Amino acid sequence: MRYVSYLFGGLSTLAAAIYLVVYLYRWEWQRAVLCGVLLLAVEGFLVCALLLGRMARLERRLNDSDARADEIRRTLEHSRDQANPHPFRWLGTDHRESGGTRTFVFVPMLMVTGAALSGVAWVIQKIAAATARPGAERHLAGRLAPLAAPAGGVLGVVPRPDDRPAVPPARRLRPALAAVGSVAAVALLVWGVHALADATETREEVRPSAAATTVVFQVRVHGAAGPAARDLAARDLWEGCRRSTSSVSIDASLGSLSDGVYAGVVRPALSAHDAMRLRGCLTDASANRVRAKILGTGQAALPH
């Protein structure tokens, strides 16, 4: 379940980031803000999930450590309770003063017994060394010969530690690949930033050789079926979006073609970038309960 949540969060983060860049490119600011908020929310979810997982693992380790410490403490207490309170009672003064007739020769007897056993072991070793025959060892070696490994080893000749270099040889190709990858990543990042800045820049561009730019779009108002409310929403949306372009639109009229379909004409003609900004503003309608759909755009040719 944890890996499924990580996978879902990663895919959601990737999708939100991609659509954030797309909406910024299209000048659809409301949707870009929504994707940005969603991106931050998913990132916060992933960070919280990761932190909670780490904290849960630390808590389990602490609980296991405490349980192990308690078990060891109980074992020590149990062994201490069962131990003899006087393990060396024969050395105590109370026992010597009790009128006993023991001579307390336990330690001397232990030392003498150890010395005697050492002497016996030395005699046995000498006798075995004198009576053992080398032929017995050769006979045993002949019987164990079929069980010996091949001369070159199972995996072939293994180099000795002296044959191996103390320091492995330097891999000169790896730093070159790392440098090339770093340069490519930096170049890709710079190109992406430049492309996004170029797509969202508000500079004035050269107007095309056309008389006017036309935009046909459809407007829907949720909760209001009257044509008057739809016409008012369409005109408010058009007046707000015509001012979103970088060029000054001297004449920008709006006409109704059919039920809910409108045609806007901008004179002089807009550049390709300003036309994209106008389409993005109309599609990303910020008015309350208003939704616009672009049906088509075009350039009106100059009269000959």
Q: What is the CATH number of the domain that holds 220?
A: 3.30.70.1130
| The domain boundary residue, chosen from 70, 86, 118 | 70
| The domain boundary residue, chosen from 70, 105, 125 | 70
Which pLDDT belongs to residue 94?
Answer: 57
The answer to the question of residue 284 being in a domain is yes
Name which of 3-17, 136-150, 154-168, 174-188 the model is least confident about: 154-168
Which pLDDT belongs to residue 289?
Answer: 77
Taking only the tens place, the pLDDT of each residue in 42-54 is 888 888 888 888 8
The answer to the question of residue 192 being in a domain is no
Which pLDDT belongs to residue 137?
Answer: 63
**264 has pLDDT over 60:** yes
The answer to the question of residue 233 being in a domain is yes
Name which of 21-35, 94-108, 110-124, 135-149 the model is least confident about: 94-108
**97 has pLDDT over 70:** no
The answer to the question of residue 159 being in a domain is no
Stretch 261-286: mean pLDDT:
84
**149 has pLDDT over 80:** no
**Locus of tokens 């000749």:** 157
The answer to the question of residue 63 being in a domain is yes
**302 has pLDDT over 70:** no
**278 has pLDDT over 70:** yes
Alpha helices per DSSP H over the chain: 2-25, 29-82, 93-96, 106-131, 134-144, 173-200, 227-242, 272-283
| The domain boundary residue, chosen from 32, 53, 70 | 70
Supply φ then ψ for residue 286, to 5 degrees: -100, -5
Q: In whole angstroms, give the CA distance from residue 154 to residue 266.
A: 86
Q: In whole angstroms, give the CA distance from residue 290 to residue 138.
A: 103
Q: Are 298 and 211 in contact (CB under 8 A)?
A: no
Domain that holds residue 34: 2-70
What predicted TM-score, i.e. pTM, was given to this entire model?
Answer: 0.47
The answer to the question of residue 178 being in a domain is no
The answer to the question of residue 235 being in a domain is yes
The answer to the question of residue 7 being in a domain is yes
Q: Are 274 and 247 in contact (CB under 8 A)?
A: yes
Name which of 113-127, 156-170, 265-279 the model is least confident about: 156-170
Which pLDDT belongs to residue 93?
Answer: 58
Which pLDDT belongs to residue 82?
Answer: 66
Say how many residues make up the chain: 304
What share of the chain has pLDDT > 70, as a percent? 71
- How many domains does the chain divide into? 2
pLDDT-derived band at 197, boundaries 50, 70, 90: confident
Which pLDDT belongs to residue 156?
Answer: 59
Which pLDDT belongs to residue 92?
Answer: 58
Stretch 148-168: mean pLDDT:
61
